[in-house]
Amino acid sequence: MNSSTMDKYFDLVMKTAAADQTEIVIYTESSALTRFSNSAIHQNMAENNSAISIKSISNGKIGTAFTNKTDDRSIIDTVKAAEKNASLSPKDDDFKTLPTGKAVISTNGYIDDTAKASPGFRADVVADIIKLTDKHDLMAAGSFSTTAGLIGVANSLGAKSIGKITEANLNLVIIGADSSSYAEFYDKDVNNLRLESMVNKAIEKTLLSAGPKKVEPGKYDVILEPAAVADMLGFLAYSGLGAQAVREHRSFMNNNFGRRLISPLVSFWDDANDPETIGLPFDFEAVPKQKVIFFDKGIAKNVVYDSYTANREGKTSTGHALPAPNTFGPVPLNMIMKAGNSSIEEMVDSTQKGILVTRFHYTNFEDPLKTIFTGMTRDGTFLIENGKIVSGIKNLRFTQSILAALDKVEMITKDRHLVKAFIGSCLAPAVKISDFNFTGVSEL
Amino acid sequence: MKVILNEALNQASIQGAAYADVRIVETLLQSLSVKNGKLEEISYNLSSGFGVRVLYNGSWGFAASNILSKDEAAAITHLAMDIAKAGNSVQKQKVDLTKAEAVIGHYKTPVKIDPFSVPLEKKIDLLLQTDKILRQDKRIAVADSGMFFIRKKIYFASSEGSFIEQEIIESGGGISAIAIKDGEIERRSYPNSMGGQAQTRGYEAIDDMRLAENSERVRDEAIALLQAETCPSKITDIILDSSQLALQVHESIGHPCELDRILGDEASFAGTSFLSLDKVGSFKYGSPLVNVTADATIPGALGTFGYDDEGVPAQKTYLIKDGVLTGFLTSRESAGQLGQTSNGTMRADGWNRSPLIRMTNINLLPGDWNFEDLIADTDDGIYLETNKSWSIDDKRINFQFATEIAWEIKNGKLGKMLRRPNYTGITPEFWSSCDAICNDKYWTVWGTPNCGKGEPMQVAHVAHGTSPSRFRNVQVGVGR
């Protein structure tokens, strides 16, 4: 599918639609993923898919329907199904209108070499990883995926945006007898992969964490690398940084706008147009995405809006609508944390006794208002004593308020890393935090 | 359908595949959600396509497309072969499939009421009715009521001569109320959290839930929790209700018993397992009361089907017998490691995913206690109900769960309500502390329709049969 095919579908839907307002989202994607473990490829796949989603509104009643059958008959049936669903809905008095807005056509996020990456190319990258790990008798596990997508959004009020995008993502775990490490590459351009240095750093970390000691749970100074920081910001993003969460009083931002909640060293925002991130410049209502600052020098500032939540409050959409139907409201997808001026080496130097964490595993909220979450460390947890990493340690469980942790940020690195999140991404630095609450330890 | 299946198998054969299978899957999802008086979701979602899996010189290749045509079948099979050939260059050991009988089979979920025949108006009315009751108190900030229905048609054919048609029907639903006051947030859900209960049944599953009849209690408990005492931090005896225990089984028995995890296939993402092949037959997983099956044949359970996505018939097998580990969840590729054949757990999340080892219905078999007797037998402890959050490490050994609600147990009686309960433990220690399991009168199979695993991410629909059980000397109130 290309832009002109999309226009054909837009025209067909608009010609068929009988509703007061109609929105159409079309996406087409070619993706491939090569997965490896025990230093061999064990799963290897590719997928081609296209799909169309319709939202119909008549007399304030909203219905949606979705299909991945792209023949004319199926599309017409889907429009009718959305209209039928709308007819059965009660009127939503808070719905005002779909957005109008100017057209956005974007190809900045698309790199041809990423789109054309072959199974042989992906296999060669995995082979190169294994050559490096074999030298140290270490095992490699991970996945290498390449994706090309085209997304178009249009509505009957004339809004229309089309964007082309690519993604390359390599995640890597290097495993020793009793230790492991993690590294990730996430970029629109597969050519930016610096494989050898990425793998060698991870190898060094696996070797350094061999023979892990057991440390007792308690409060420690902690250095969190970017993957762990991104995990924390991701929880804040989906649980409390959207207007719907605030409206429903389930956001930690409620009653706190304008107040300092976290360290003045910390600022973070959403910005899909930042060249260091990956993202479409428009949302799933075709609205151009705005930069939205959530915390500025520790002070709670704003949340993101889609057209529904913005119209309800007399505001303007910030371009953060998710695909319909969406009961969760708008969510930021391109989180960015402001860089500091430090380095991980300087953080380690400054630490009398502390713990360095590569990444978290299986984190989950216990209290979204107090932002208390729990999870485990994974793939490289180290003990720091007297300004030096002295050994790897067994993985620890933490039970900790995210906002309380961000209030105790003492240092932030200059370097940031783009981390692929559960949805969207996060450009995150490493941070040093005092009094991080570890509550348990793994036996293995 | 057969044109596509045959074309893919023919092309795979011509190009030298040692084995091939092809699945055509069509999934229809209808979902409805009412939140705070508004019908926030009424949708109709149709996804169809086919996936071809080939084995060439000991390497897998998988490719999938949403375009159902003979030409596309040929092109996608070529792509799957190219992928398998690329994998040959990074191979340590050739894939060797254990034997499976060729099957010509058919399976259809038995239903009393086809959920797609029930008028949408009736479904919406029920959700609006429950929503109205949930919101009768202003302290309820968010009232959620929802239901979903799935009809999945699967056509499977393999180069070994299998041809299987299946139609799986699922129905699910539930309600929840969130109460918020003075910076405190509490939630109650029914019949379970995370959307409620889900089963392979028809609309009768929704009727049986009696959502409207339970709405008032759910609302009132959410509000009462705002004033309840916080669960203390201490080591004590706990009794878990069957729905929380279902997730405990899921995370600390189901996942660690997946043989692909044990063999390292999930090392970079979902994680591995503290179990190993040599532990089968000797490892003490829990107390002698602990008996666990993987049973894909339980009528109405969410993890029930006729055949897995390798064409292996649904089975019942023991994972733990009298507290000792006896087996794993296996595939045709992995079962040979145990000198066995597959026990039929390979399932894919739709046409565009290659099958993985997934849980079916993983069940803690009932004991012989009455619930009332179990409470009466407990001098000092806490009874915890309905999952709120879950977390476990990448080897499935250190877990922490929070539940929505708990009650103190004092001198054999349920006492005051407790808020923010949570508990933590180490998997084999925890299961070894199990000293009482309620009988089959209290045994419920809970659907878990959100089990994530694999890259690209796949979501499996699985289930767990459990009855309330007691565990001694468990740490509760973590992080206080």
Domains of chain B as residue ranges with CATH: 2-227 (3.30.2290.10), 230-476 (no CATH)
Do A319 and A389 belong together in one domain?
yes
Rounded CA separation B216/B218 (Å): 5
A268 touches A295 (CB < 8 A): yes
Residue A224 sits at φ, ψ, to 5 deg, of: -100, 125
- B89 CB neighbours in chain A (<8 A) are 120, 123-124, 127
Rounded CA separation B305/B316 (Å): 12
- Calculate what percentage of chain B has a pLDDT beyond 70: 100
Q: Which of A421-425, B330-334, B413-417 has the lowest mean pLDDT?
A: A421-425
Q: What is the pLDDT of residue B458?
A: 97
Distance from CA of A341 to the nearest CA of B (A): 31
Please give the structure tokens belonging to residue B87: 């994998």
Q: What is the pLDDT of residue A254?
A: 96
Q: Does B271 touch chain A (CB under 8 A)?
A: yes
pLDDT tens-digit profile of B323-357? 999 999 999 999 998 999 999 999 999 999 999 99
Do A184 and A223 belong together in one domain?
no
Q: Does A78 touch chain B (CB under 8 A)?
A: yes
Q: What is the mean pLDDT of residues B191-219?
A: 98
Q: Which of A48, A256, A441 to mutate: most B Cβ within 10 Å? A: A48
First to last CA, chain A: 50
Q: What is the pLDDT of residue A2?
A: 78
Distance from CA of A120 to the nearest CA of B (A): 5
Q: What is the pLDDT of residue A80?
A: 97
Q: Which of A220-229, B12-21, B33-42 has the lowest mean pLDDT?
A: B33-42
Alpha helix segments (H runs only) across A110-225:
112-115, 119-134, 195-208
Q: Does A47 touch chain B (CB under 8 A)?
A: yes
ipTM: 0.96
Distance from CA of A250 to the nearest CA of B (A): 8
Nearest CA-CA partner of B294 in B264, B259, B332:
B259
CB contact under 8 A, B389 and A50: no
Q: What is the mean pLDDT of residues A382-402?
A: 98
Question: What domain range is A172 assigned to?
Answer: 3-198
Is B304 buried (19+), middle (13-18) or exposed (0-12) by CB count in 10 A? buried
If contacts are CB pairs under 8 Å, which of residues 340-369 in chain B contact chain A? 352-354
Residue A96 placed within a domain? yes
B59 → closest Cβ in A33, A41, A376? A41
Q: What is the pLDDT of residue A422?
A: 82
Distance from CA of B265 to the nearest CA of A (A): 5
Residue A3 sits at φ, ψ, to 5 deg, of: -60, -35
Rounded CA separation A42/B95 (Å): 9
pLDDT averaged over every residue in chain B: 97
Q: What is the mean pLDDT of residues B152-164?
A: 98
Q: What is the pLDDT of residue A248?
A: 94
- A145 CB neighbours in chain B (<8 A) are 455-456
Do A151 and A117 belong together in one domain?
yes
Q: What is the mean pLDDT of residues A96-112?
A: 90
- B31 CB neighbours in chain A (<8 A) are 325
User: What region, left, alpha or beta, does residue B348 occupy, with left being phi > 0 and alpha being psi -120 to 50 degrees?
Assistant: beta
B141 → closest Cβ in A69, A248, A441? A248
Q: What is the mean pLDDT of residues A156-178?
A: 96
Q: Is the pLDDT of residue B88 over 90?
A: yes
DSSP letter for B110, please. -
pLDDT class of A5 with cuts at 50, 70, 90: confident
Do A366 and A220 belong together in one domain?
yes
If contacts are CB pairs under 8 Å, which of residues 265-284 in chain A contact chain B? none
Whole-angstrom Cα Rg for chain A: 23
Q: Is the pLDDT of residue A102 over 80?
A: no
Do A186 and A219 belong together in one domain?
no
Domain count, chain A: 2
Do A34 and A154 belong together in one domain?
yes
CA distances in angstroms from A98 to A57, A235, A245, B125, B427, listed in the order given: 9, 29, 21, 27, 51
**Tally of CB atoms within 10 A around B433:** 17
Rounded CA separation A414/A341 (Å): 5
- B124 CB neighbours in chain A (<8 A) are 88-90
Q: What is the pLDDT of residue A101?
A: 75
CATH code, A73: 3.30.2290.10
Q: Is the pLDDT of residue A443 over 80?
A: no
Q: Which of B77, B82, B83, B432 to mutate: most A Cβ within 10 Å? A: B83
Do A186 and A333 belong together in one domain?
no
Q: Does B194 touch chain A (CB under 8 A)?
A: no
**Helix, strand, coil % over all residues of chain B, rounded to 5:** 25, 40, 35
- A70 CB neighbours in chain B (<8 A) are 66-67
Q: Does B452 touch chain A (CB under 8 A)?
A: no
pLDDT tens-digit profile of B223-249? 999 999 999 999 999 999 999 999 999
If contacts are CB pairs under 8 Å, which of residues 6-65 in chain B contact chain A? 31, 33, 35-36, 38-49, 59-65
Q: What is the pLDDT of residue B391?
A: 97
Do A127 and A239 belong together in one domain?
no
Do A168 and A56 belong together in one domain?
yes
pLDDT class of A104 with cuts at 50, 70, 90: confident
CA nearest A170 in B: which residue?
Answer: B268
- Which of A198, A220, A255 is the endpoint of a domain? A198
